[in-house]
């Protein structure tokens, strides 16, 4: 299942040249993940069950710079999921459908102390949207 969220590039997202500062893409990816969960199994409920999903690894390719005042759409989908991790894939486009970034994160299920914690099949099915 692929989801997306739209946003606008504000001046505070950019450097002096009006180009988006690289770490802002990570913030937008987190926003997209949060919205993904909101639709299938709200992240707050996952936390209430004693799970946290920190980013374990990140791979990002900057293809073309996003610029001040552009409308951006961040697409996210789960490429792999099991009882201990989720591999998310992202594509970020502007309103002219120009690809700006591709990325992947691996998030792991942990308890509140950061120790790996397996989730049940029922939770996995909910997250998959099934």
Q: What is the CATH classification number for the domain harbouring 44?
A: 3.10.129.10
Structural domain that includes position 89: 2-128
Of the candidate ranges 41-50, 67-76, 109-118, the one whose mean pLDDT is the lowest: 41-50
For residue 59, name the pLDDT band (cuts at 50, 70, 90). very high
Select which of 15, 39, 69, 111 is catalytic.
15
Percent share of the chain, pLDDT over 90: 82
Q: What is the pLDDT of residue 110?
A: 97
Q: What is the pLDDT of residue 40?
A: 85
For residues 62-69, give the mean pLDDT.
Answer: 97
Q: How many domains does the chain have?
A: 1
15 flagged as catalytic: yes
Q: How far apart are CA 65 and CA 21, in angstroms?
A: 9
Position 130 pLDDT exceeds 70: no
Give Cα 21 distance to the centre of its chain: 17
The pTM (predicted TM-score) of the whole model is 0.92
Q: What is the pLDDT of residue 127?
A: 85
For residue 50, name the pLDDT band (cuts at 50, 70, 90). very high
Q: How far apart are CA 29 and CA 86, in angstroms?
A: 14
């Amino acid at each position: 299942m692929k989801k997306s969220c739209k946003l606008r590039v504000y001046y505070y997202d950019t450097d002096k040249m009006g180009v988006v500062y690289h770490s802002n893409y990570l913030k937008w990816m987190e926003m997209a993940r949060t919205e993904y969960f909101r639709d299938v199994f709200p992240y707050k409920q996952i936390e209430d069950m004693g799970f946290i999903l920190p980013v374990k690894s990140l791979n990002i390719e900057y293809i073309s710079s996003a610029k001040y005042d552009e409308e951006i759409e961040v697409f996210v989908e789960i490429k792999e999921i099991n009882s201990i991790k989720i591999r998310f894939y992202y594509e970020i486009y502007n309103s002219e459908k120009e690809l700006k970034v591709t990325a992947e994160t691996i998030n792991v299920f942990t308890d509140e102390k950061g120790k790996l914690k397996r989730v049940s099949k029922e939770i996995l099915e909910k997250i998959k949207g099934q």
